[in-house]
């Protein structure tokens, strides 16, 4: 079995993180921003798993479990907030929601 070089894993993780970051910056819908944050968290998970695999350490897997736990909590709280915002303001557009600030 051939091992994947660490550089390839880190490039993949960087590309995934960049896609998620662009999604957070460009998107106006709060749901897509939440999904972009998930892509960013998974990119860090890929980097930890890859580094742990190359260095034959279990630390990367432990960190990935921590990231999965954090992502699950983020999704639970984020989706609850999005459902509440949708019911209250009838929109998930960030610009509409920020217009309501201070009213």
**pLDDT per residue over 39-83, tens digit each?**
999 999 999 999 999 898 899 899 999 999 999 999 999 999 999
**pLDDT per residue over 30-41, tens digit each?**
999 999 999 999
∠ CA 94-20-8, rounded to 5°: 175
Give the pLDDT confidence score for residue 48 in this predicted structure: 94
pLDDT band for position 90 (50/70/90)?
A: confident
CA distances from 29 to 11, 32, 51, 77, 78 (A): 28, 5, 34, 17, 13
Q: How many CB atoms lie within 10 A of CB 48?
A: 21
Exposed, middle or buried: residue 100 (CB in 10 Å: 0-12, 13-18, 19+)?
A: exposed
Task: Tell me: pLDDT of 103 over 60.
Answer: no
In whole angstroms, give the CA distance from residue 14 to residue 16: 5
Q: Which two tokens stand for residue 66?
A: 């921590």
Q: What is the pTM of this model?
A: 0.84
């Amino acid at each position: 079995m051939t091992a994947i070089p660490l550089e390839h894993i880190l490039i993949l993780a960087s590309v995934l993180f960049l896609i998620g970051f662009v999604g957070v910056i460009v998107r106006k819908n709060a749901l897509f921003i939440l999904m972009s944050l998930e892509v960013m968290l998974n990119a860090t998970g890929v980097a930890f798993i890859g580094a742990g695999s190359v260095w034959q350490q279990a630390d990367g897997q432990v960190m990935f479990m921590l990231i999965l736990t954090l992502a699950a909590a983020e999704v639970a709280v984020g989706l609850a907030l999005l459902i509440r915002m949708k019911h209250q303001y009838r929109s998930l557009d960030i610009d509409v929601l920020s217009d309501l600030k201070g009213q």
